[in-house]
Structure 1
C-alpha cells in the first residue's frame, strides 16, 4: 500500500521532545517573579499607597531621599500596578453565632481579636450593647451567687 507522506524519522521525534522540554521550562520560568531593585521598598510603598499617598512623583522623591537605586520608569510601572489592583474587600461581618458566642462567654475568655470585633459590633448597635451589659450583670449574679440580694 503506497503512502502519501514519508514516515517521520528520529529527527521529528527529537524535535518534538525538545519543543516539549522548552515549553515546560518556559512555564517554570514564568511562575517565578524576577527580583527587582524595588523589592525592599515595596512594603513601604504599599503602606503609603493604602494611606492615600498616590502621587508617583512624591513617592519617588521619598525613595530617592533614602538613596534607593530605582528608576522613575520602574517606580511608575509598580505604582500603575497598585492602581490597577482591585481594592481589597472588607472582611465579612461576623455571623450571629459568633456574636452570640462572644456575648455569652466570660470577657476574659475572649481573644484580643474577638474583643475588638465585639466592641465594634456593640458600638454599631446600642440595643445589643444594652443587652450585653444585662447579660454580663446576670452572669455576675449567677457566678457570685448574689440571688438573695436581688429585690423582690
Structure 2
C-alpha cells in the first residue's frame, strides 16, 4: 500500500489546501514595511550567523536550529538579511494574518497551547482550521517568529494511514486532505475504493464479492 502511495508521490502536494484568501479590504492595504516575513528573515539571518560565526558547520547549524541545511546555507551566504527578503517572492495574505500579532502576544504571555489559541482567535472572528494555527506557532517553539503556516505535503506513509483507517476515525484534517488528494489522483482514488471494499468484506464476513475484487 505504501509503495502505491510512493509511486504517486507527485500527486501528494494536492492534499495541501490553497492559502486562505484574506478579506478584500485587507488585500487592498499597502504592504507594511515590518512584516512577519521580514522579521522572520532578520531573526533567521542573525541566528544562522551567530552559530556559523563560531566555526560550526552548516550541518551542525541546521541541526541546532531545526532547519533544512539548504536554507541555512542560503542565509549563511547572505551578507544581510535584506538579501533573503528580496529573493523571497511575495506571499499571498491569508485570513490568519490579522491574528499573527495576537498569537505572538499570547505566546509571550505564556499561552502555548494551539487548541486554546485557536479558540481565542475564533472568538475574535477567525474562521480557519485549528491545524493552521498549530503550524503558525510551530516556529515559536524554536525561538523564531510566528508566521503564516506553509503546510507540507503528506508523506506516502501518512497517505497510506489515511487510506487504511476507517473513515470515521480519520479526523477532520486527515479526511479533508485525503479528499483533496483523491480528487486530484484517480489512481489513488481507485486504490482507496479497493481498500474500503476489502474492509467492508471483512466487516461483513462475506467473501462473495472477493473474486470480482481480485479481478
TM-score for the superposition, normalised by structure 1: 0.46
Larger RCO (CA within 8 A; separation ≥ 6):
2
**Greater Cα radius of gyration, structure 1 or 2:** 1
Normalising to structure 2: TM-score of the pair? Answer: 0.33
